[in-house]
Structure 1
Amino acid sequence: MQAMTGSVAFPPAGFRRLVSAVTQRTGLHYYVDKTDLLKQAVGARMLLHGCATCHDYLALLSDGARGDAEWQELESAITIGETFFFRYAEQFQALEHTILPQLIRRAAATRHLRIWSVGCSNGAEPYSIAILLTRLLEEAGMEPCDWHIEILGTDISSRALEQARQAEFSAWTLRDIPPARRQGWFTPVTPRTWRLHERYRRMVRFRYSNILDLLQPDCGPAGPFDLILCRNVLIYFEQAQVAALVKAMAGRLAPEGWLLQGHSEPLCDFAPLLETVRLPGTLAFRVPPACEPAPMPPAPPAVPRRRPVHDAPPAQSVDSAGIAAEIRRVADSGHVRRGMQMCRDYLARNPVDASIHFLFAVLAWGEGSCLQAEESFRRVIYLCRNHVMAHCYLARLLEEAGGRAQARRLREQMIALVRRCPPDTILPDGGGLTAGGLLRLAQQVGDMPVARDARVSS
């Protein structure tokens, strides 16, 4: 029986060939068991070009320059480009207090630093590094303009790269940045659009690159780099590919250079090629001091992922997880209200899905619909009384509205919930934030913030 998307046919044999072509070209094994998401993206491209079958579309993809152009459009459509400024607060604490200061001290003589952001999406990650590095240099009494700083952002999505080069971001993307810092780093373009200052933009350049190019001789960005950020990229690849890609990146690191991965990636022991460095709330990888890169050992078994928080909402179904990923993609592309409507449509059929209620609340708050956001955060807490991030967001929202007493009670409840969890427990809907990390953030600022990495993520 054939599956249909609009007037597009997906017979099993033809679709298997298409999936094989996509995974061979991009390495995105993420879609092997998420065929509905792939059919949505591919179906839209097929309809645009009048391709009625997978055979027709594969022929288009093989059609020389025309096929290369279509591959770039398809890669943009299937890439999940969810990112935001200062994502993963614990890793940025490590960058601020350990990694970047060490790199600055080591480069004091040459005043030359090279940094690579792999899978940079809309540019928020490399631009965040530019902002942080500028501040650290200034605090050390140095002039950033006296340094030669190269920050490279690469991605497989040509659309995301174009957005990154424009350096214009919506209020939704910047909503976790305090107003004073937003005004210091950005210039308003429209009432809900902001452009990053030139002093940060000129530190970053962008180029199209498929990370799988690293597995080909003399392909991919050339090292050495002092720091490589490859966060939430390797989760889409098979374990053997992960080992080979890490080996290739390690070979592009300078002596004692650093590699950062995302919290969601399976953690492996890459010794003796890289040593694992435990930093507060996160792990980092570094080329061992005074040690030449060694051959990569056979891929070790992945460390099991941390278990979810106790009494957390039930795991999302495949359908729910896929819908959430698509909604985030739509919102991150600038269509927040469309994403909100997608949440409404889904919740009309699945009214007790706490994760989608939480996603809707965050979207509504980003659009300034505070009453809708408050109602949805409260519904999440009703459905799952131990949802830490719903307490966190609702407390911040109420505090901004003047409800300090309610906000204080919510924070007290939240802290009590977090202390019941092992410190390394990843908090649901926290964007990789751990229980221990959230407590550290509370201690550092003296009050419980909405953590910058406490965004809706898969």
Structure 2
Amino acid sequence: MTGSAAFPPAGFRRLLNAVTHRTGLHYYVDKADLLEQVVGARMALHGCRTCHDYLALLDDGARGDREWRELESAITIGETFFFRYAEQFAALEHTILPQLIRRAAATRRLRIWSVGCSNGAEPYSIAILLTRLLDEAGMNPADWHIEILGTDISTRALEQARQAEFSAWTLRDIAPAQCAAWFTPVSPRIWRLHECYRRMVRFRYSNVLDLLRPDGGPPGPFDLILCRNVLIYFAQVQAQALVQAMAKRLVPEGWILLGHSEPVSCFAPCLETVRLPGTLAFRPPLQGRGGQDVSVASPAPRRRPAHALVAMPEVDSAPVAAEIRQVADTGRVPLAMRMCRDHLLRHPMDTRIHFLFAVLAWGEGSLLQAEESFRRVIYLCRDHVMARCYLARLLEDAGGGVEAGRIRQQMMELVRRCPPDTVLPDGDGMTAGGLLRLARQASEAPAIRHAQVTS
């Protein structure tokens, strides 16, 4: 905090508690400076001299409700773009949506919910993809009753979503021919989505925390729920409870897609995990689907070696990893990172190479890229100890102490389950006992240094 007169510690703490209680945005617990900047601007706008004055405004009936909406719009992070995360849209195109279309062929009804829809790029992307899939299946989209609901806590983002006008930056993953087919230019830099896609989507204000209240949140059932890059701002316990509440709003054959960086990735017994190329999806357990199997089933679990902590990769990438390490050792780190990317295009589930790429990116100073890749490793292999070890240190160095502590605690819980002589995958020979000793010496591991790229 800045320590200004407007933000004495006690007053700001009450304001921070009020914000996290209403929005669930645990993200700001260890980023108080960011929240202080936003609140300071709002306070100046209304002439509030202290946090107490601003809290009184927020508690002032209809006027306070309007200010809460403005504050929520200001503190939410809404950068997104069309067809974000190609692996997940490939899963939607080739598995999830075709399956839903087949199951709904008789009723011709589909309900889809985009949680935290921001400017509408995600639900509109679904509308475009769904229209094309119906056309290719010889079905007229106009004969279907399709409801795609986009919800967000930011009224500003929802207003932009309803306008359906987007900059070239938001359309950056769309080829020019597709852009011309789906959008109409309204200025040299702004494009407007065609009406046939717009009418498939409706938007409404909704706080995702309403799901945790009786009869709160949009009523189900939904065939598909997308909640991507929303839960990363919540505490892990809240994130787990929110996904469980979403699961109750699914049809028996429904699906949930989460972002790669969410704080949790296992939701048994209410949801089972389905591995798809490059990503994971979630659906109700088989018994909840009337005993009917689906076209893409979870692969049979592999038998793990004794003491193994992480699922073996789909291919034996040890020789590839060794070659990449050799290239990095010669100082050609950008080339080594490119080799990782090339391999992951062919084997997107290979956690070993994802991990190696993250370490290389961190060494090159690409911290956001490294963080994303470490999170992806954890997403694909929930019991990966070293990914949590590295991610905790990276976040701690970046000032994210609260989340770093949570991830480090998860790491310690995993390590304690193993015999001391267990060699940790991707640990360059580090054993579970050795990591525990380092952690004790460093008072819960704040001084653990990330390992060298080479063994």
1:275 aligns with 2:275: no
What is the TM-score normalised by the length of structure 1? Answer: 0.67
Task: Name which one, 1 or 2, has greater alpha-carbon Rg.
Answer: 2
Aligned position for 1:76? 73
What SS class does the counterpart of residue 9 from structure 1 fall into? coil
Please name the residue that 1:37 is paired with: 34
**Secondary structure of the residue that 2:113 maps to in structure 1?**
strand
Q: How does 1:63-142 map to 2 (within 5 A)?
A: 63-142=60-139
Aligned to 1:102, the other structure's residue is in SS state: helix
Helix, strand or coil at the partner of 1:10: coil
Shift of 1:23: 0.2
Deviation, 1:424, is 4.2
| Aligned-partner Cα distance in 1 for 2:76–2:89 | 24
Partner of 1:359: none
Q: Which residue of 2 aligns with 1:48?
A: 45
Is the 8 Å Cα contact of residues 110 and 223 (structure 2) preserved in structure 1? yes
Question: How many residues were matched structurally?
Answer: 329
Contact in 1 for aligned 2:119/2:161 (Cα 8 Å)? yes
Equivalents in 2 of 1:254, 1:417: separation in Å? 34
Task: Within 5 Å, give how 1:59-458 maps onto structure 2.
Answer: 59-291=56-288, 385=334, 388=337, 415=342, 422-425=352-355
1:386 Cα deviation after fit: 5.5
**Partner Cα separation in structure 1 for residue 258 and residue 376 of structure 2:** 19
Q: Once the 2 structures are TM-superposed, how far is the Cα of residue 290 of structure 1 from its aligned partner?
A: 4.0
Whether the aligned pair in 2 keeps the contact of 1:90 and 1:433 (CA below 8 Å) is: no
Distance 1:385 1:245, change over 3 A: same
What letter matches 2:3 in structure 1?
A
Aligned-partner residue type, residue 190 of structure 2:
T
Conserved 8 A contact 1:88-1:433: no
Question: What's the CA shift for 1:432?
Answer: 5.2
Letter in 2 for 1:385: P
The verdict on how the C-alpha distance between 1:234 and 1:436 changes in structure 2, with shifts beyond 3 A counting, is: closer
Match of 2:299 in 1: none
Aligned 8 A contact 1:76 1:160 in 2: yes
Distance 1:222 1:418, change over 3 A: closer
Q: Distance in 1 between matches of 2:198 and 2:218?
A: 20
Contact 1:423–1:434 (Cα < 8 Å) also in 2: no
Residue 175 of structure 1 aligns to a residue whose secondary structure is coil
Deviation at 1:421, TM superposition (A): 7.7
Task: State the distance in 2 between where 1:435 and 1:250 align.
Answer: 23
Amino acid of the structure 2 residue aligned with 1:231: R
Give the CA deviation at 1:422.
2.6
- 2:15 is the alignment partner of 1:18: yes
- For residues 44 and 174 of structure 1, what CA distance do their matches in structure 2 show? 31
Alignment check: 8 A CA contact 2:148 2:202 kept: yes
Amino acid of the residue matched to residue 44 of structure 2? L
In the alignment, the residues of structure 2 paired with residue 413 and residue 263 of structure 1 have an alpha-carbon distance, to the nearest angstrom, of 18
Displacement of 1:255 in angstroms is 0.8
Query: CA offsets per residue over residues 295-349 of structure 1, 9 Å max, x none?
Result: xxxxxxxx99xxxxx9xxxxxxxxxxxxxxxxxxxxxxxxxxxxxxxxxxxxxxx
Structure 1 residues 168, 16: closer, same or farther in 2, change over 3 A? same
Report the alpha carbon displacement of residue 239 of structure 1 after superposing the two structures with TM.
1.7
2:6 aligns to what SS in structure 1?
strand
Shift of 1:174: 1.1
Distance 1:190 1:12 in 2: 48
Shift of 1:292: 7.4
* Cα distance between partner residues in 2 of 1:61 and 1:78: 15
User: Kindly tell me: are residues 10 and 230 of structure 1, through their superposed partners in 2, closer, same or farther at Cα, counting changes over 3 Å?
Assistant: same
**Paired residue type of 2:38:** A
SS in 2 for 1:284: strand
Per-residue CA deviations over 1:61-95 (Å, capped at 9, x if unaligned) read 00000000000000000000021101111011100
Shift of 1:436: 11
In structure 1, distance between residues paired with 2:152 and 2:354: 30
The Cα shift of 1:413 comes to 9.3
Contact 2:236 2:264 in 1 (8 A): no
Amino acid across the alignment from 1:42? V
Q: Residue 2 and residue 173 in structure 1: after superposition, are their counterparts in 2 closer, same or farther (change >3 A)?
A: closer
- 2:340–2:353 CA contact under 8 A, matched in 1: no
> Structure 1 residues 89 and 47 mapped into 2: Cα distance closer, same or farther (>3 Å)?
same
Secondary structure of the equivalent of 2:286?
coil
Conserved 8 A contact 2:212-2:245: yes
Q: Is 1:116–1:228's contact at 8 Å kept on the other side of the alignment?
A: yes
**Structure 1 residue 415 displacement after superposition:** 3.0
* CA shift digits 1:122-151 (9 cap, x unpaired): 000000000000010001111111100000
Name the aligned partner's letter for residue 228 of structure 2.
Answer: R
Distance 1:413 1:210, change over 3 A: closer
CA distance in 2, matches of 1:215, 1:58: 24
Gaps of 5+ in 2: 291-308, 311-320, 322-330, 362-367, 378-399, 401-455
What is the TM-score when the length of structure 2 is the normalising length? 0.67
- The one-character-per-residue Cα deviations of 1:251-287 (angstroms, maximum 9, x if unpaired) are 1000121011100012332122111111111111001
1 CA distance for matches of 2:215 and 2:254?
Answer: 20
| Cα drift, residue 163 of structure 1 | 0.2
